[in-house]
Amino acid sequence: MASNICLWLWFSYITSLHVIFTLALSDNYIIHMNLSDMPKSFSNQHSWYESTLAQVTTTNNNLNNSTSSKIFYTYTNVMNGFSANLSPEEHESLKTFSGFISSIPDLPLKLDTTHSPQFLGLNPYRGAWPTSDFGKDIIVGVIDTGVWPESESFRDDGMTKIPSKWKGQLCQFENSNIQSINLSLCNKKLIGARFFNKGFLAKHSNISTTILNSTRDTNGHGTHTSTTAAGSKVDGASFFGYANGTARGIASSSRVAIYKTAWGKDGDALSSDIIAAIDAAISDGVDILSISLGSDDLLLYKDPVAIATFAAMEKGIFVSTSAGNNGPSFKSIHNGIPWVITVAAGTLDREFLGTVTLGNGVSLTGLSFYLGNFSANNFPIVFMGMCDNVKELNTVKRKIVVCEGNNETLHEQMFNVYKAKVVGGVFISNILDINDVDNSFPSIIINPVNGEIVKAYIKSHNSNASSIANMSFKKTAFGVKSTPSVDFYSSRGPSNSCPYVLKPDITAPGTSILAAWPTNVPVSNFGTEVFNNFNLIDGTSMSCPHVAGVAALLKGAHNGWSPSSIRSAIMTTSDILDNTKEHIKDIGNGNRAATPFALGAGHINPNRALDPGLVYDIGVQDYINLLCALNFTQKNISAITRSSFNDCSKPSLDLNYPSFIAFSNARNSSRTTNEFHRTVTNVGEKKTTYFASITPIKGFRVTVIPNKLVFKKKNEKISYKLKIEGPRMTQKNKVAFGYLSWRDGKHVVRSPIVVTNINFNL
């Protein structure tokens, strides 16, 4: 996506500034320490870290001992350790001190840049919305670019008092770095706002003057994601007339706490700040975290999101993360972390249209995303072929031009027509993607069938040049067929950091999402700067907060459920059929059926997730068993779990996950054989019997033992075994998949099963 390219450029820019102007070779590090080694004389961790670092400096006698300012964060919830700016000598020296476990460099993370509630089947009178009271006492923490607190989506009209479990005290906006919550821009909806830029400033001291010490969103991303998850209801929202209607977050009564970690115009974020933000969110008492950013493909014990969210999971906090926008190739996913939910992005059933009406009264509709207020009345219309002759185009100024080239030249055709400053352009193409539609001048894309009608009309009026047309814009249509589909950009699995857990987990709406936007940040997709308090944007950044919102509703309805139970409920009840009753398609793979590497378990269905029947629950030790089986060292595991000792007596890659992934690339084997063990918990009716059924995988035999589960009471657990047998997959055939469904007449508990020969390197 374009926004990712900008981000990359921004990173390079920062890096070069750093090298050229600051000269010092010091850099930021995140240091893990072993609390068992802390001498009794220290009253707290921070003073021990300070003292250790002071000794490090005196041993490096060529350096000044301004050590306390070098530690910019001491972490308490998510890890035992701190982050500091150190010279290479100091870093080496620190490694020799008692208590040092390991260090990781402070790396940058990428942002994964309203009709959607209805599209998800949410309804005010039944299902997840009323059952959860719209997520009333649930607190959603959002780690992002900050927030625009004045947005109408943060109005708290009619909201009850802030739940007492909330411990957050800060509402930090400019001119009021530490302000008490009653005197601030926060309210009963936006209950906390904090910023974390110490790591960013330590790394890029040169730009400190341009960084506002405030949670205010100067990018727009955080305002959009937080209001998607839990924005209040706002009537009359629209994007220049498109997508008009009521905008509301998925959990419109939940509370929002914002943690700003992404800085600069393009949202540059550093691990040290993100870890500090998650650390703070845990102390503050959030129930749900939404993290629409990630670092590419790191080992779990080096991945800041993996490290910080392990502690969140232990505290019962549900974490939603974005899969990334690097699709559609395999292994492009980030945040493939076993203890979070990883969200892919799909399309909505909505399309933006314009109409061209010919002089003979025939009206033809096509894709249009023109944002201006012009509509063309009775202008001459001419056919200009491929619109590649700019000179010729320049001679038709007061006319509507019709162009017909191929898909590849569409952008060029549009650019030529735009430059020629004609009245408007009608482009004949079967392209389907709104992102391909220029919105800065009056244009409509019509399909080839309608294109023939327009051409015939113009031709018949050729002799006396009397062909005329009108153009009108800003029509929003719903019920578009073959939706949802997994969109092109959405990152695909398997996860490099832990391929044994099938990722992504779920798909949610990510394309053309309307949500709140800062009034002083230009909205995207426009030639000149224009402003609006709502914006339509795309990305797994947008699908991630949808899932955070749904999790808030589920937590509101089922307070005792663990994060893994909520994730299981979301996955096993999702949809795999689109609105034409066919398997959901993958736009990035020629509109063929989307494999679980694109779709995950399916497309989220909040009302069904409310009552999943069975859940696959996972405890902390289960995750540790997985880390042990990945052959990580005790030190590596400690970096994630914070324990000085981790029990690795039962290593297992077979996590109790609601999905199955089998690898068919064992070096010396002509066959694929994989066995999985699962335990399901009955969260539905007291007495019930489930039967297994398998959607076959061509060429493979899948068996389930037992294939009947008889539950006698609620919360009873029963185990079963699933076995996949078949030939070794050919190189050509990379992915085969099917489904296991447990049915009791009321519930369908469905899990995807994938067999693959995709290689991965750990």
Ligand X SMILES: *[C@@H]1O[C@H](CO)[C@@H](O)[C@H](O)[C@H]1NC(C)=O
Per CB under 6 A, residues contacting ligand X are: 21, 34, 36-37, 63-65, 101-102, 104, 201, 206-213, 244-245, 301-302, 406-407, 430-433, 460-461, 463-464, 466, 629-631, 633-636, 638-639, 644, 668, 762
Identify the bridge partners of residue 239 per DSSP, sorted by sequence position.
242
Say how far apart CA 471 and CA 19 lie, in whole Å.
54
Tokens of 737: 């998949």
Q: Could you give phi then psi for residue 270, rounded to 5 degrees?
A: -115, 150
Would you say 709 and 680 are in contact if contact means Cβ atoms under 8 Å apart? yes
Between 584 and 683, name the residue whose CB sits nearer to ligand X: 584
The contacts of residue 44 (CB under 8 Å, 6+ apart) are none
H helix runs in 120-219, sequence order = 128-131, 198-203
Residue 708 CA to its chain's centroid (Å) = 37
Is 245 or 316 the residue whose CB approaches ligand X more closely?
A: 245
Do the Cβ atoms of 748 and 605 come closer than 8 Å? no
* Paired tokens of 328: 């559609």
Residue 630 token pair: 């990945």
Backbone angles phi, psi at 529, to 5 degrees: -75, 120
221 is catalytic: yes
Helix (H) or strand (E) holding 351: strand 350-358
**What count of other Cβ atoms lies within 10 Å of the Cβ of residue 531?**
13
Residues near 372 by beta carbon (within 8 Å), at least 6 away in sequence:
240, 440, 441, 442, 473
Under 8 Å CB-to-CB from 328, ≥6 apart: which residues? 488, 489, 490, 492, 586, 587, 588, 589, 598
Alpha-helix runs per DSSP H in 343-475: 390-393, 410-420, 448-460
Tokens of 149: 């607190």
Distances (CA, A) of 699 to 376, 597, 664, 733: 59, 19, 12, 11
Which CA distances in Å does 29 have to 71, 204, 586? 10, 14, 40
Judged by CB, which is closer to ligand X: 14, or 570? 14
Please provide residue 170's backbone torsions phi and psi, each rounded to the nearest 5 degrees: -105, 145
Task: Indicate which residue of 32, 115, 204, 221 is catalytic.
Answer: 221
User: From the CB of 302, what's the least distance to ligand X, in Å?
Assistant: 6
Distance CA(230)–CA(475), nearest Å, equals 27
Residue by residue, DSSP assigns 604-645 as --HHHHT--SEE----HHHHHHHHHHTT--HHHHHHHH--S-
Is 334 a residue of the active site?
Answer: no
458 vs 380: CA distance, rounded Å: 10
Catalytic residue list contains 461: no
Which of the following is catalytic: 106, 112, 137, 144?
Answer: 144
Half-sphere exposure (Cβ direction) of 13: Cα atoms closer than 13 Å: 12
b/e code 168-183 from CB counts within 10 Å (16+ = b): bebbbbeeeeebebee
- CA 333 – CA 594 distance, rounded (Å): 15
Looking at the Cβ atoms of 367 and 547, the one nearer to ligand X is 367
Name the residue nearer to ligand X (CB basis): 111 or 202. 202
| Cα 187 from Cα 168, distance rounded (Å) | 13
| Gap between the Cα atoms of 402 and 397, Å rounded | 13
Query: Which tokens sit at 545?
Result: 């907060």
The catalytically annotated residue of 429, 491, 541, 664 is 541
Question: Smaller CB distance to ligand X: residue 318 or 457?
Answer: 457
Q: For residue 567, give the nearest of 627, 506, 510, 619 by alpha carbon.
A: 506
Q: Give catalytic residue positions.
A: 144, 221, 541
